[in-house]
Amino acid sequence: MTCTPYGAATPSVCSPAEPVRDLFLLRPDVIFLNHGSFGACPRPVFEAYQAWQLELERQPVEFLGSRFAELMRTARQSLAAYVGAAPEDVVFFPNTTTAMNVIARSLQLGPGDEVLTTDHEYGAVDRVWRFTCRRQGAVYVLCPLPVPVASAGDIVERLWSAVTPRTRVLSLSHVTANTALILPVTEVVRRAREAGILTVVDGAHAPGQVPLQLEALGADFYVGNCHKWMCAPKGAAFLYARKEAQPLLQPLVVSWGWEPEAEGNWTFIAQDSPLVALHEWQGTRDISAPLSVPAAIDFMRAHDWPRVQAACRELARDARRRLTELTGLEPLSPDGADWYAQMVSVPLPPCDAAQLKRRLYDDWNIEIPVFDWHGRQLIRVSIQAYNDEQDVACLIDALRNLLPGQLHGPTIPRTILAGPCDS
């Protein structure tokens, strides 16, 4: 199996996910190993999405008026069942960044109050908390979780060593964006609840990648994207709030649902719960993305998604092993399904991350994130139903050509060498 730069579409080779592969809309000439950034939506779900849009256009007043509450309720019920929550505890948002803003900007923090988080968090969410804490005089505390991480217990202990009597909020990722690690949220949430600390879980990468039972998890707030790993179109995400924590939330976009009144014929405010009323009607917008979530869930069900996910996890594991062999560098965590699912980040030898990323795309047609993280360079491989072994093989071949010298494994002629990372 060989790969060439400027290669054409990689044929699907002995992939367990073969039947679904062709249903995605991604360009066939790109080796797409970056599902994590923005997801990808399969054709049947995308068609359902665009059909909703057309239906909206045919009678917008009915669609966004009298039908709105029922349409959204149906979608919400489907999502809630999928993530293990009651429908009235879940509300749709365009993305998790927006949902995190709702939470962070609702909480009334006092001067000196502390918001504790890790140093693995997503840059936008990090900004949300910094912005909020600065405004309120609260302190934003980053607890370092050095890599390689050793054990779930060690992570919990490190976090707990940073808890003080002023810790009001503990905010952490379920699956980290840069290091692609699954954090031990169950134990963290359990302990925080005992200690009376509010918990906020950023599940941007979790739904569809790791199984969720949100009510059982018991976090005060949990946000997740449906458009990343749940096969939904862009613009479908959710906020879950535990019933007791819901009164803490203020709307980010104040609209008709805040202090709703029976006003003339404006009867379209969703009445399902105060959470829904306060947050779900946010002015005129295309609600087709949330409405397509049931189609996405149906798609996963119809294609035996647990089998697809298992195959993807296995391929991600294989990619991790081969990348580690190639670089000789220690991975970020122990091996195992507790630590990663369909997304793995692997350390690279020191290099110019931006240029390596560009070379991988321009010369090898490989779309994959390579970035600096706390002074090291990481590459993050995402495996979704449309990926196969050859995608990973091409990545390994490309890196063998593009990475600095002293690499392990067999060398092959480097035809397009002299890249900026080539030392």
Window 225 to 264, contacts with a copy of itself (CB under 8 A): 225, 227-228, 233-235, 251-256, 258-259, 263-264
Closest-CA residue to 377 (of 368, 389, 367): 368
Among 46-54, 72-80, 319-327, 342-350, the segment contacting a copy of itself (CB under 8 A): 46-54
Considering the rule CB under 8 A, would residue 208 count as an interface residue with a copy of itself?
Answer: no
User: What is residue 172's DSSP assignment?
Assistant: E
Selected binder of a copy of itself within 165, 283, 375, 413 (CB under 8 A):
283
Selected binder of a copy of itself within 277, 369, 388, 393 (CB under 8 A):
369
Angle at 10 between CA 9 and CA 14, to 5 degrees: 145
In this complex, which beta carbon is closest to a copy of itself, that of residue 227 or of residue 242?
Answer: 227
DSSP characters over 283-312: SS---HHHHTHHHHHHHHHHTTHHHHHHHH
Considering the rule CB under 8 A, would residue 307 count as an interface residue with a copy of itself?
Answer: no
In this complex, which beta carbon is closest to a copy of itself, that of residue 27 or of residue 408?
Answer: 27
Residues 125-184 that bind a copy of itself (CB under 8 A): 127-128, 130-132
Tokens of 348: 């690279």
Q: Would you give the binding string for a copy of itself spanning residues 403-422, x where CB under 8 A is met?
A: --------------------
Closest-CA residue to 365 (of 32, 16, 122, 67): 32
Selected binder of a copy of itself within 354, 362, 411, 414 (CB under 8 A):
354
Q: Is the dihedral of CA 122, 128, 129, 131 positive or negative?
A: positive
Omega before residue 44 within 30° of 0, cis? no
Which residues 6+ apart lie within 8 Å of 36 measured at CB?
177, 180, 205, 228, 343, 369, 380, 382
Cα dist from 374 to 5, 49, 91, 128, 170, whole Å: 31, 39, 34, 20, 22
In this complex, which beta carbon is closest to a copy of itself, that of residue 98 or of residue 333?
Answer: 98
- Tokens 């693995």 locate to 120
Residues 69-98 that bind a copy of itself (CB under 8 A): 94-98
In this complex, which beta carbon is closest to a copy of itself, that of residue 272 or of residue 367?
Answer: 367
| Rounded-to-integer distance, Cα 371 and Cα 385, Å | 24
Considering the rule CB under 8 A, would residue 267 count as an interface residue with a copy of itself?
Answer: yes
Smallest separation, CB 373 to a copy of itself (Å) = 7
Among 20-28, 187-195, 240-248, 391-399, the segment contacting a copy of itself (CB under 8 A): 20-28
Considering the rule CB under 8 A, would residue 40 count as an interface residue with a copy of itself?
Answer: yes
Which residues 6+ apart lie within 8 Å of 374 measured at CB?
119
Considering the rule CB under 8 A, would residue 304 count as an interface residue with a copy of itself?
Answer: no
Considering the rule CB under 8 A, would residue 391 count as an interface residue with a copy of itself?
Answer: no
Among 75-83, 137-145, 182-190, 222-230, the segment contacting a copy of itself (CB under 8 A): 222-230
Considering the rule CB under 8 A, would residue 284 count as an interface residue with a copy of itself?
Answer: yes
In this complex, which beta carbon is closest to a copy of itself, that of residue 184 or of residue 233?
Answer: 233
In this complex, which beta carbon is closest to a copy of itself, that of residue 144 or of residue 153?
Answer: 144
| Rounded-to-integer distance, Cα 240 and Cα 214, Å | 8
Estimate the crossing angle of helix 293-302 against helix 305-327, to 10 degrees.
80
Which residues 6+ apart lie within 8 Å of 320 measured at CB?
331, 335, 340, 344, 346, 381
Selected binder of a copy of itself within 15, 167, 171, 282 (CB under 8 A):
282
User: What is residue 88's DSSP assignment?
Assistant: G
Smallest separation, CB 267 to a copy of itself (Å) = 8
Selected binder of a copy of itself within 12, 53, 74, 77 (CB under 8 A):
53
- Residues 311 and 388 sit within 8 Å (Cβ to Cβ): no
In this complex, which beta carbon is closest to a copy of itself, that of residue 122 or of residue 189?
Answer: 122
Smallest separation, CB 335 to a copy of itself (Å) = 26
